[in-house]
Structure 1
Amino acid sequence: MRVGERLRQREEDWRELDRLVERLSRTGPRRASAGDVLRLGRLYRATCADLMLAEAHDLPRASVEYLHGLVGRAHNVLYRTRGFSLRDLGRALFDSAPRRLRTDPALRIAAAVFFGSFLLCALAAAARPDFAGQVVGEAALEQIDHMYARPLSGPGSEEMGRDDALMAGFYIRHNTSIGLQCFAWGILFGLGSLAQLLSNGIGLGTMFGHMATTPYAANFFTFVTAHSSCELTAIVLAGAAGLRMGWGLIDAHGLTRIASLRREAANALPALGASVVLFIAAAFIEGFVSASSLPYPAKAAVAILTAALILLYVTLGGRPGRTPEDEIGRETGRIAEA
Structure 2
Amino acid sequence: MDLDAFNAVHSAEWSRLEELTKKRSLDGAEADELVRLYQSVATHLSTIRSAAPDPVLITRLSDLLGRARTRIAGAHEPAWRDVVRFATVSVPAALYRIRWWTVTIMVLFVGVAVVSGWWVATNPDALASMGTPAAREQYVDEAFASYYDPGAGFASMVWTNNARIAALCIALGISGVFPAYIMFANAVGVGSTGGMMAYYGELDTFLTLIAPHGLLELTAIFVAGAAGLRLFWALIDPGPRTRGRAVAEEGRALFTIAIGLVVVLAVSGLIEGFVTGSGMAWWLKIVIGAVALAAFWVYTIVLGRRAVQAGETGDLTADHAGDVAPVAA
TM-score (norm 2): 0.61
Q: CA deviation at 1:304?
A: 1.5
Q: Percent identity?
A: 23
Equivalent residue number for residue 232 of structure 1? 218
Equivalent residue number for residue 173 of structure 2? 186
CA offset digits 1:64-113 (Å, max 9, x no partner): xxxxxxxx98xx84xx7845532332222223332332233xx4234323
The aligned runs of 1:1-338 (5 Å cut-off) are: 77=73, 82=76, 84-104=78-98, 107-123=99-115, 125-126=117-118, 129-131=121-123, 134=126, 137-139=129-131, 145-150=137-142, 162=149, 164-188=151-175, 190-251=176-237, 255=242, 257=244, 260-319=246-305, 325=311
Q: 1:241 to 1:145 in 2, by over 3 A?
A: farther
SS in 2 for 1:138: coil
In 1, the alpha carbon distance for the partners of 2:278 and 2:264 equals 20
Q: CA deviation at 1:138?
A: 1.9
Q: CA deviation at 1:232?
A: 0.6
Residue 111 of structure 1 aligns with an amino acid whose one-letter code is V
Residue 88 of structure 2 aligns with an amino acid whose one-letter code is F
Q: CA deviation at 1:283?
A: 1.3
SS in 1 for 2:180: helix
Q: CA deviation at 1:204?
A: 1.7
In 1, the alpha carbon distance for the partners of 2:133 and 2:266 equals 27
Q: CA deviation at 1:202?
A: 2.7
Q: 1:163 to 1:117 in 2, by over 3 A?
A: closer
In 1, the alpha carbon distance for the partners of 2:246 and 2:199 equals 48
CA offset digits 1:36-60 (Å, max 9, x no partner): xxxxxxxxxxxxxxxxxxxxxxxxx
Q: CA deviation at 1:305?
A: 0.7
Q: CA deviation at 1:317?
A: 1.8
Q: 1:314 to 1:295 in 2, by over 3 A?
A: same
Q: CA deviation at 1:277?
A: 1.7
Residue 175 of structure 1 aligns with an amino acid whose one-letter code is N
Stretches of structure 2 that go unaligned for 5 or more consecutive residues are 1-24, 26-67, 313-329
SS in 2 for 1:129: helix
Q: 1:213 to 1:309 in 2, by over 3 A?
A: farther
Matched-pair contact (CA < 8 Å) for 1:172–1:283: yes
Residue 161 of structure 2 aligns with an amino acid whose one-letter code is H
In 2, the alpha carbon distance for the partners of 1:111 and 1:288 equals 28
Q: CA deviation at 1:260?
A: 4.6
Residue 119 of structure 1 aligns with an amino acid whose one-letter code is G
Q: Which moved more, 1:236-245 or 1:178-187?
A: 178-187
Matched-pair contact (CA < 8 Å) for 2:170–2:228: yes
Matched-pair contact (CA < 8 Å) for 1:186–1:246: yes
Matched-pair contact (CA < 8 Å) for 1:113–1:194: no
TM-score (norm 1): 0.60
CA offset digits 1:278-307 (Å, max 9, x no partner): 221111111111111111011011112112
Matched-pair contact (CA < 8 Å) for 2:158–2:269: yes
**RMSD value over aligned CA atoms?**
4.1
Residue 221 of structure 2 aligns with an amino acid whose one-letter code is I
In 2, the alpha carbon distance for the partners of 1:229 and 1:132 equals 30
SS in 1 for 2:172: helix
CA offset digits 1:180-236 (Å, max 9, x no partner): 232222131x23212222222232233234423433334333322210111111101
- Structure ranking higher on relative contact order (CA contacts 8 Å, 6+ apart): 2
SS in 1 for 2:153: helix
Q: CA deviation at 1:166?
A: 1.4
In 1, the alpha carbon distance for the partners of 2:133 and 2:183 equals 21
In 1, the alpha carbon distance for the partners of 2:102 and 2:234 equals 16
